[in-house]
């Protein structure tokens, strides 16, 4: 069994990179060198134990913006005895309430903006509340983070973890296809993530990397922190999901890398600020979390250059599963550029049929993945764990196939496959065709009830500003891309599509309103 004191490992980085900038919090105007970040995170780990009584087996929950959460992320959690849980600051109160009931944290660290709504509820459960900014009004039982740190030593914490056994942190799945689940990570899961990034032939993480995080670091964006840290690069946080501010910060901070979901890239293409600010320092724009429209990706390449890298992964696998690198973006065919890329080094992938048997190359099946980054199951959810994990594999629920070049093509989510008139139709493919129309900004395709066919294809479509196209014309356009049987039978133009707090289109919400009091014919 491998044992590790992570604080000593980070101490080596503090010596090696010393006064290089390690962390910048834009809104709160904090800047830390490697030496300073190491000392601060040591103090936080010592404070948690000495002043909050957080010991092995305890959990603390962070409901924080990016800059505050960055002080308590993996590089702090791995120094602590207690495990840290990260949730999205912008999740709804009811979502947070369910997460709190599940993990039963001893301490909740909260942004001050949430104190009025959350304080009484937390204190009624005997949970210690800690706020990150000095409160305007005193509150009984409320503790202030920076006061707690006063006088705490920055000596190396003595915490030693069994790297493959001890849980150091928890995250929650996005819940785009159902109820959110809680995923536990060991220290080795986190180090597997770091290592997987360094195995690839293309290396976006370099000593001069400045990675700007506008997407929540409680979710996918936070997976860039350790690879940046161990290369000697700098993490930069932005709290507000504002693309104009993103462009301003890229120029001001000479950002070399950022991560956006496809919906944000679509908006960036139409944003004047993308032309008003100098974005020339940006060398890597990583994207993931949802399929990208190939047509819009080609537009983005023409607009911003060959800076795009797709990373396909999941909360259940803290490790890249597939990567579409910059070279692939240049050389890939029109079909391959819509893929998730090639299987990542260190990931074991098998594509199986409904009985769990591997399918032939080129055939569609469900993707299963195992690696050092794959977790062993869900926290306090044995039913879901038994259903989704087997023999070290996580069953992704993604339908896909591998082509002859080794590119992984995501066809759709199993739950989003539409069966119409006996034919299987995949929403992703139809959305890609609709999104290729020059007037379309984004779309969501679902199956709606139909007496004869069971389900009929229906699309909700968002048009670009000042653009118009009729439903009939858009259907005819899609026929030219897909053929007659895969096009929507109806289109509804909407001002916006429902998206999760991390920017994924919520097809589930689009679909549900059409299936009130009806049973779907597909699982």
- Structural contact between residues 29 and 131, judged by C-beta atoms closer than 8 angstroms: no
Helix axes 262-269, 294-304, angle to 10 degrees: 50
What are the tokens at 162?
């069994």
Q: Can you give the pLDDT at residue 289? A: 73
Instruction: Please state the pTM of the whole predicted model.
Output: 0.82
C-alpha distances (whole Å) from 102 to each of 59, 181, 398 are: 11, 10, 27
Question: Which backbone phi and psi does 424 adopt, to 5 degrees?
Answer: -85, 125
What are the tokens at 261?
């979901």
Rank 158-172, 275-289, 415-429 by mean pLDDT and report only the highest: 158-172
Q: Is the pLDDT of residue 175 over 70?
A: no
Distance CA 67, CA 131 (A): 14
Distance CA 383, CA 380 (A): 9
pLDDT tens digits, 342-399: 999 889 999 999 899 999 989 999 999 999 999 999 999 999 999 999 999 999 888 8
Q: Can you give the pLDDT at residue 176? A: 44
Q: Can you give the pLDDT at residue 520? A: 47
Q: Can you give the pLDDT at residue 502? A: 63
The structural domains of the chain, ordered by start, are 421-512 (3.30.300.30)
Q: Can you give the pLDDT at residue 169? A: 98
Q: Is the pLDDT of residue 162 over 60?
A: yes
Q: Can you give the pLDDT at residue 36? A: 98
Average pLDDT, the chain: 90
pLDDT tens digits, 411-460: 766 666 676 755 567 787 788 889 889 999 999 888 888 765 667 889 99
Beta bridge partners of 317: 314, 374
Q: Is the pLDDT of residue 47 over 90?
A: yes
With vertex at residue 201, the alpha carbon angle to CA 280 and CA 283, rounded to the nearest 5 degrees, is 5
Beta bridge partners of 167: 186
Q: Can you give the pLDDT at residue 342? A: 94
**DSSP string of 495-513?**
S---B-TTS-B-HHHHHHT
Rank 95-104, 167-176, 441-450 by mean pLDDT and report only the highest: 95-104
Distance CA 34, CA 343 (A): 33
Rank 400-404, 455-459, 517-521 by mean pLDDT and report only the highest: 400-404
**Radius of gyration of the chain from its Cα atoms, rounded to whole angstroms:** 23
Mean pLDDT of 293-307: 90
- 31-40, 48-57, 384-393, 466-475: the lowest-pLDDT one: 466-475
Q: Can you give the pLDDT at residue 417? A: 67
pLDDT tens digits, 324-339: 999 999 888 878 888 8
Q: Catalogue the E-assigned strands of 26-160.
A: 30-33, 59-64, 83-88, 107-110, 128-131, 143-144
The residues near 184 (Cβ < 8 Å, ≥ 6 apart) are 83, 167, 169, 170, 375, 376, 379
**Is residue 330 within a helix (H) or strand (E), and if so which, with residue range?**
helix 326-331
Helix axes 93-103, 115-124, angle to 10 degrees: 30
What is the four-CA torsion angle of 28, 34, 40, 41, rounded to 10 degrees? 110
- 173 or 12: whose pLDDT is higher? 12
Q: Is the pLDDT of residue 56 over 90?
A: yes
The CB-based long-range contact list for 269-272 (8 Å cut-off, 24+ gap) reads 269/296, 269/299, 269/300, 269/303, 270/441, 270/464, 270/465, 271/243, 271/244, 271/247
- Structural contact between residues 82 and 60, judged by C-beta atoms closer than 8 angstroms: yes
Q: Is the pLDDT of residue 157 over 60?
A: yes
Mean pLDDT of 307-319: 91
pLDDT tens digits, 223-271: 999 999 999 999 999 999 999 999 999 999 999 999 998 878 988 988 9
Mean pLDDT of 307-325: 92
């Amino acid at each position: 069994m491998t044992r590790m004191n992570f604080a000593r490992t980070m101490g080596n980085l503090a010596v090696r990179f010393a006064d290089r900038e390690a962390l910048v919090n834009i809104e709160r105007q904090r800047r830390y060198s490697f030496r300073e970040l190491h000392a601060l995170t040591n103090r936080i780990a010592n404070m948690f134990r000495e002043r909050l009584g957080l010991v092995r087996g305890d959990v603390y929950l962070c409901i924080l913006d990016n800059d505050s959460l960055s002080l308590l992320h993996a590089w702090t959690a791995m120094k602590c005895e207690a495990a840290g849980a990260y949730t999205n600051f912008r999740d709804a109160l009811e979502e947070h309430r369910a997460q709190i009931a599940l993990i039963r944290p001893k301490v909740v660290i909260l942004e001050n903006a949430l104190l009025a709504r959350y304080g009484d509820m937390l204190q009624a459960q005997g949970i210690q509340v800690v706020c990150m900014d000095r409160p305007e009004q005193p509150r009984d039982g409320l503790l202030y983070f920076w006061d707690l740190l006063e006088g705490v030593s920055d000596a190396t914490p003595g915490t030693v973890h069994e790297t493959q056994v001890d849980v150091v942190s928890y995250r929650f799945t996005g819940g785009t296809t159902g109820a959110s689940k809680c995923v536990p990570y060991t220290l080795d899961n986190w180090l597997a993530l770091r290592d997987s990034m360094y195995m690839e032939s293309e290396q976006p993480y370099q000593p001069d990397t400045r990675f700007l995080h506008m997407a929540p670091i409680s979710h996918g964006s936070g997976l860039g922190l350790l690879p940046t840290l161990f290369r000697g690069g700098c993490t930069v946080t932005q709290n507000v999901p504002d693309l104009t501010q993103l462009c301003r910060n890229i120029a001001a901070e000479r950002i070399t890398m950022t991560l956006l979901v496809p919906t944000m890239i679509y908006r960036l293409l139409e944003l004047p600020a993308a032309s008003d600010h100098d974005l020339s320092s940006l060398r890597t724009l990583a994207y993931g979390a949802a399929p990208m429209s190939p047509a819009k990706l080609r537009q983005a390449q023409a607009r911003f250059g060959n800076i795009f890298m797709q990373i396909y992964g999941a909360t259940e696998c803290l490790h890249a599963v597939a990567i579409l690198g910059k070279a692939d973006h240049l050389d890939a065919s029109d079909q391959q550029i819509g893929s998730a890329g090639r299987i990542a080094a260190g990931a074991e992938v098998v594509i199986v049929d409904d009985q769990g048997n591997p399918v032939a190359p080129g055939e569609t099946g469900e993707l299963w993945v195992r690696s050092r980054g794959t977790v062993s199951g869900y926290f306090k959810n044995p039913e879901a764990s038994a259903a989704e994990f087997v023999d070290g594999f996580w069953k992704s629920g993604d339908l896909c196939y591998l082509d002859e070049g080794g590119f992984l093509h995501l066809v759709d989510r199993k739950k989003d496959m539409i069966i119409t008139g006996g034919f299987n139709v995949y929403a992703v493919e139809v959305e890609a065709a609709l999104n290729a129309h020059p007037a379309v900004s984004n779309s969501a395709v679902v199956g709606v009830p139909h007496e004869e066919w069971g389900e009929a294809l229906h699309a909700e479509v968002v048009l670009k500003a000042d653009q118009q196209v009729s439903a009939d014309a858009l259907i005819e356009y899609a026929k030219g891309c897909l053929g007659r049987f895969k096009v929507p039978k109806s289109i509804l133009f909407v001002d916006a599509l429902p998206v999760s707090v991390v920017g994924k289109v919520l097809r589930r919400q689009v679909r549900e309103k059409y299936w009130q009091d009806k049973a779907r014919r597909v699982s």
